[in-house]
Amino acid sequence: MLSRLPWHSPPFISASTSTREVLGSVLTDILQSSGNFQQSVSQGRRVISFHGSVKFVQTSCRISVPRVSVGRETQVPSKFLKDRKMVPNADPPSIEDVSRLYQLFDQSTKLVVLTGAGISTECGIPDYRSPNGAYSSGFKPITHQEFVRSSHARRRYWARSYAGWRRFTAAKPGAAHVALASLEKAGRINFMITQNVDRLHHRAGSNPLELHGTVYSVICLDCGFSFCRNLFQDEVKALNPKWAAAVESLDHGSPGSDKSFGMKQRPDGDIEIDEKFWEEDFHIPTCQRCKGTLKPDVVFFGDNVPKEKADKAMEVARECDGFLVLGSSLMTMSAYRLVRAAHKAGATTAIVNIGTTRADDIVSLKLNARLGEILPRVLNTGSLIIPALE
């Protein structure tokens, strides 16, 4: 049986409606209303004012969005992210579960948060290991060794990645991302680490250490030069002018036909492409500086996390007084070793994840819940005072 953090009834603001309740509800409403959320992104700033028996508080939320080229190639049918149920089933979090998680935020002064794929599945980006994840459909991710040694593998990877790019970037931050950004701005999170490469935390206003890199950058394996992924997309389009029309045919033509280069949308959000089209007719840009091989600036399976990032993550794990894992099974050693280090250093450790994880037997608290349901409720609990977000 897992031991749990002691539970104490959290303190409440004396007002009939607490500051936290108001802010948490507004954050949830913003995300539940696609129209309101789109407005907050396009204008870049939302100001919320409210009164009560507590002191007047004005809260501003600024959400920055990575630069994405506009045009028909970025217009994605809204039904794309609803094509498959990607989030595993979980019971709604109980009041006791919410209170226990609240206590971790309230009692920690140097809290480190590590997020995994589970926080992004709620935004429509599939994970690997859950019951509905990519592995369940037979998908096998490319390894670093395969990418480096095989031009065939690189061509296949970039063809599929180019075709799926606009769908990948159509995902928006979820309620959990926004809740974490609010807690971070309030000083309740000392440091954030993410295993994800999708930049959804950044779009919600956070700036986490990207342990496994990001697909928003491309790097040269030969000289180390890196540049924006959108520029790479433009280069691919220039070298392969027929592919833009082919990608468009996925949504507005005949999927699987020669006109769409044999591309079909797979249930897990991946792109299936007939090999005869990309084997000879797809050209990959080379490095502008040295003509070397380009790859996304991510850590593929079989590769190592860059030493500087690994050392920084280990440093904060050993120095924290609380370590919270959100949406990760911790099956990769790069993530598991951080939880283990924090535990050995005496920090309170906790996990919120649907399903078992590699560290279930060493953490003080394990909750089985959807992050988009429990984190906004933590914002509604007690008196976690959130300052203005700038």
Per-residue pLDDT tens over the stretch 364-383: 999 999 999 999 999 888 66
Give the pair of three-digit tokens for residue 145: 């060794």
Give me the domain span that covers residue 286: 139-170+213-298
**Where does a domain end: 263, 298, 333?**
298
User: Nearest CA to 116 among 380, 325, 272?
Assistant: 325
pLDDT over 70 (residue 74): no
Strands 57-61 and 46-50: antiparallel
Cα within 13 Å of Cα(245), Cβ side: 6
Query: What's 301's DSSP letter?
Result: B
Is the pLDDT higher at 17 or at 144? 144
Query: What's 136's DSSP letter?
Result: G
376 and 355 within one domain: yes
Residue 279's pLDDT is 59
User: Nearest CA to 114 among 382, 379, 358?
Assistant: 358
Residue 371's pLDDT is 96
- Residue 137 · residue 388 · CB < 8 Å: no
Report helix angle 19-32 to 371-379, nearest 10: 150
227 and 152 within one domain: yes
Q: Is residue 51 part of a domain?
A: no
235 and 93 within one domain: no
E strand or H helix that includes residue 94: none
In angstroms, rounded to a whole number, what is the distance separating the alpha carbons of residues 45 and 17?
Answer: 24
Q: Is residue 58 part of a domain?
A: no
Report helix, strand or coil for 193: strand
pTM for the full predicted model:
0.72
Binding residues for Zn(2+): 220, 223, 287, 290
Q: Is residue 31 part of a domain?
A: no
368 and 239 within one domain: no
Q: Is residue 248 part of a domain?
A: yes
pLDDT over 70 (residue 304): yes
Query: What's 317's DSSP letter?
Result: H
206 and 217 within one domain: no
Report helix angle 371-379 to 175-185, nearest 10: 40
239 and 143 within one domain: yes
| Residue 138, Ramachandran bin (φ over 0: left; ψ between -120 and 50: alpha; else beta) | left
Which pLDDT band holds residue 272 (cuts at 50, 70, 90)?
low
378 and 321 within one domain: yes
321 and 194 within one domain: yes
Is the pLDDT higher at 382 or at 78? 382
Query: Which stretch, 122-126, 169-173, 270-274, 285-289, has highest mean pLDDT?
Result: 285-289
Other Cβ atoms closer than 10 A to 236: 21
Binding residues: 195-198, 220, 223, 287, 290, 327-329, 353-355, 371
pLDDT over 50 (residue 43): no
238 and 159 within one domain: yes
Q: Is residue 143 part of a domain?
A: yes
Query: Which stretch, 22-31, 68-77, 282-291, 377-386, has highest mean pLDDT?
Result: 282-291
In angstroms, rounded to a whole number, what is the distance separating the alpha carbons of residues 17 and 360?
Answer: 36
Cα within 13 Å of Cα(171), Cβ side: 25
E strand or H helix that includes residue 278: helix 275-281
Which pLDDT band holds residue 9 (cuts at 50, 70, 90)?
very low
**Residue-wise burial string across 196-209, b where 16 or more C-beta atoms lie within 10 A, e elsewhere:** bbbbbbbbbbbebe
**Where does a domain end: 244, 268, 298?**
298
Per-residue pLDDT tens over the stretch 209-259: 999 999 999 999 999 999 999 999 999 999 988 876 777 666 544 444 444
Amino acid at 312: K
217 and 183 within one domain: no
Any idea which residues carry the catalytic annotation? 212
DSSP characters over 240-252: -HHHHHHHHHHHH
221 and 164 within one domain: yes
CATH number of the domain at 373, please: 3.40.50.1220
Most distant CA atoms of the chain, gap in Å:
70
Binding residues for NAD(+): 195-198, 327-329, 353-355, 371
Domain tally for the chain? Answer: 2
Is the pLDDT higher at 132 or at 178? 178
In angstroms, rounded to a whole number, what is the distance separating the alpha carbons of residues 318 and 190?
Answer: 13
Per-residue pLDDT tens over the stretch 89-100: 788 999 999 999
Give the pair of three-digit tokens for residue 99: 């209170």
In angstroms, rounded to a whole number, what is the distance separating the alpha carbons of residues 31 and 40?
Answer: 10
- Residue 227 · residue 217 · CB < 8 Å: yes
In angstroms, rounded to a whole number, what is the distance separating the alpha carbons of residues 360 and 1?
Answer: 10
Which pLDDT band holds residue 85 (cuts at 50, 70, 90)?
low
Which pLDDT band holds residue 44 (cuts at 50, 70, 90)?
very low
Is the pLDDT higher at 303 or at 68? 303
Kindly list the distances between the CA atom of residue 221 and the CA atoms of 148, 161, 213, 229, 276, in Å, as whole numbers in the listed order: 9, 18, 14, 15, 27
Residue 232's pLDDT is 96
Report helix, strand or coil for 237: helix
371 and 332 within one domain: yes
pLDDT over 70, % of the chain: 63
Q: Is residue 26 part of a domain?
A: no
Q: Is residue 283 part of a domain?
A: yes
Residue 142's pLDDT is 85
Q: Is residue 4 part of a domain?
A: no
Residue 281's pLDDT is 74
In angstroms, rounded to a whole number, what is the distance separating the alpha carbons of residues 282 and 124?
Answer: 28
**Where does a domain end: 278, 298, 318?**
298
